[in-house]
A = this chain, B = another copy of it.
């Protein structure tokens, strides 16, 4: 089976996120008064061959640990798209 996995890598809470701040300001300047905090990170979309959804997810997590996320500054979330 081929699964499509969505990975979201975000700056760790507490660390400065200048990009998020800039977007926050820009949105409120554009009149989106309802926005509170904004954070900007990275979205990675991977097609993975795996036997099961669980396996796809586990492999994707491993990819995050090894490459996709910086363990020092980022947290990640993994979601496997329904097949």
Chain A positions near chain B (C-beta within 8 angstroms): 2, 6, 8-10, 23, 26-27, 30, 32, 34-50, 59, 62-63, 66-68
Contacts and interface: CB of A to CB of B under 8 A. Distances in A.
A47 B36 contact: yes
How many identical chains are in the complex?
Answer: 2
Contact of A46 (B9, B38, B49, B67): B38
Contacts of A66: 30
Given A34-B59, A36-B2, A44 B67 contact: no
A66 to B, nearest CB: 6
Which of A10, A40, A41, A50 has most chain B Cβ within 10 Å? A40
Given A8-B43, A43-B41, A50 B34 contact: yes
